[in-house]
Structure 1
Amino acid sequence: MSQTVVITGAAGKVGRLLRHRLARPDRRLRLMDIVPPEPVAPGEDAEVFTGSVTDLPALESLVAGADAVIHLGGQSRESNMADVLENNAHGTYCLFEAVRRAGVPRVIFASSNHAAGFLDRVDAPADGFPADAAGRPDTLYGWSKVAGEAMASLYADRYGIDVLCPRIGMCMPEPIDVRSLALWLSQDDAIRMFEALLAVESPGFRHLWGISRNTRRFMSLAEGEALGYIAKDDSEAYADGVIQGKPTPDYEHDLVLRRIGGQWCDVPLGEYY
């Protein structure tokens, strides 16, 4: 039976990856972004839409009849409070309300490591921080992801929608610095993760870390594995190249390496209020 999956934020980095890698003969994609997504290519089973995640009527039309929504849309980095409130807090509400009205059974809400940025590896349990660790946001953007997770919980509990909240690390082809050796999510593992979250039966409301099987991680993989996400890649394959010519990483004293949010824990917020 054919499956229809909506992807908001489809013109972004992760959205473009999912567009090409989630495509299969029994799946139709609906792709939406405020920036026009690339036109549909010959033979591609997809539809493209231009619009905002704050436009509730447009979202309701977009998600009607869908089997799942992958919600990547919104403000994707730190910004002023007005942007974060409108595009992330209000936009996430609009998405979940549209899903409720349309009767869509599942949402994958793309949360972020920045929702827990102030968690410190010196406090991590032996198996790493659990994916549902209480929010410790490092920025207004991170706060908006905690708020989005709370909105997801509300709609899961009140309306019975299955909602998966991956707290995504750093999704990129290769790790780019020492901090990313802990947080890296390879592109192949990203696809494994989203495929697992689309397939798992009746998960209810769940968190997981969106990271690969990195030797230097200090976040748990158990919650993702319980949902069928088995990470395979390890950033350690790139570690020598990343560290070459740099001081030996000081995981005991360097707060950029100790905190999940790294340098973002030191971004001043006063200018954003």
Structure 2
Amino acid sequence: MPAPRTVLLTGAAGGLGTLMRELLPAYGYELRLLDLRPIEGEPDAIVADLADRDAVREAVRGVDAIIHLAGISLEAPFEKILGANIVGTHHLYEAAHEEGVRRIVFASSNHAVGFTPRPQGDDPLISVETPHRPDTFYGLSKAFGEDLAQFYWDKHGLESVSVRIGSCFPEPTSVRMLSVWMSPADGARLFHAALTAEDVGHTVVHGSSANTRLWWDLTSARALGYEPEDDSEPWAEKLIAEQGELDPENIAHAHLGGHFVSDPPIWPY
């Protein structure tokens, strides 16, 4: 697929959105930014709620593709998750269909399959075919988003790549993150691959760097043309010295979703 020129970036004021709005223009994209709140230094950014169908359709009109990062990114009461992550994502997909947008890159999460046991010893890497096992209402909303993406492909021919993101930060901050960390630079590489690969239909990929301690299979991401260049291993010695090795008897350490399965962080707003 030729590189889309204009890309709507939802959730552009968030942590991942901030990283991507700095990195993606180098790939030739003109970003149209959308968030629920104003973005400092970006006077042309669209301030809109995904609950507002008319505003969403207006934001989508004329773009070539969408990277959908917006929504609640921690655990919250179901009613909040329902509005922001489920209804809002549906509004975005419906607007994309109505406006003829060809592709959406959907920020899914490892928490869509968070109750999946993490690999130990000689266990195989986790496949993208592993069944949904959400660890929170947040994870449930990401499982819904993946299924919504599949539905819009089957029903309307709207292509999507669902990226099950591990943790995208400048550096890993926990021993668990050594296995699921995605550097910002690799994040931009993966989103670029997801926007430009041919004939993706609905493809689910794992979003992480080429970590030495990797837990999941990156085959479907590499098939898009993604070539990760970073590895969390330079931080391993320091983090293990500070936090200790993962304990397989600890439920949070034994599952892909980490502490989301036992004591999830709560959305503060």
TM-score by structure 2 length?
0.92
Is the 1:130–1:223 contact (alpha carbons within 8 Å) kept by the matching residues of 2? no
The structure 1 residue matched to 2:253, chosen from 240, 253, 257, is 257
Superposition CA RMSD, Å: 2.1
Deviation at 1:78, TM superposition (A): 0.7
The aligned residue for residue 222 of structure 2 is 225
Is the 1:132–1:208 contact (alpha carbons within 8 Å) kept by the matching residues of 2? no
Instruction: Report sequence identity in percent.
Output: 39
Deviation at 1:127, TM superposition (A): 4.3
Unaligned runs of 5+ in 1: 42-46, 269-273
The structure 2 residue matched to 1:128, chosen from 125, 130, 139, is 125
Whole-angstrom distance in 2 between the partners of 1:179 and 1:25: 31
Deviation at 1:79, TM superposition (A): 0.6
Whole-angstrom distance in 1 between the partners of 2:25 and 2:10: 15
Q: Give SS of 1:121's match.
A: coil
After superposing on structure 2, the runs of 4+ consecutive aligned residues of structure 1 that deviate more than 6 Å are none
Which digits, 9 at most, give the CA deviation of each residue in 1:165-202, with x for residues without a partner?
Answer: 00000110111111111111111111111111111112
Whole-angstrom distance in 2 between the partners of 1:102 and 1:127: 42
Matched, 1:103 2:100: yes
The aligned residue for residue 30 of structure 2 is 28
Aligned AA for 2:7?
V
The aligned residue for residue 271 of structure 1 is none
Which digits, 9 at most, give the CA deviation of each residue in 1:125-162, with x for residues without a partner?
Answer: 85411123211000000001101111111101111111
Whole-angstrom distance in 2 between the partners of 1:4 and 1:65: 8
**Residues 248, 40 of structure 1: CA spacing in aligned structure 2 closer, same or farther, 3 A cutoff?**
closer
Q: Give SS of 1:79's match.
A: coil
Deviation at 1:253, TM superposition (A): 2.8
The aligned residue for residue 58 of structure 1 is 55
Q: 1:144-183 alignment to 2 at 5 Å?
A: 144-183=141-180
Matched, 1:87 2:84: yes
Q: Give SS of 2:25's match.
A: coil
TM-score by structure 1 length?
0.90
Is the 1:139–1:267 contact (alpha carbons within 8 Å) kept by the matching residues of 2? no
Aligned AA for 1:9?
G
Deviation at 1:90, TM superposition (A): 0.3
Q: Give SS of 2:45's match.
A: strand
Aligned AA for 2:263?
V
Aligned AA for 1:102?
E
Deviation at 1:249, TM superposition (A): 3.3
Unaligned runs of 5+ in 2: 265-269
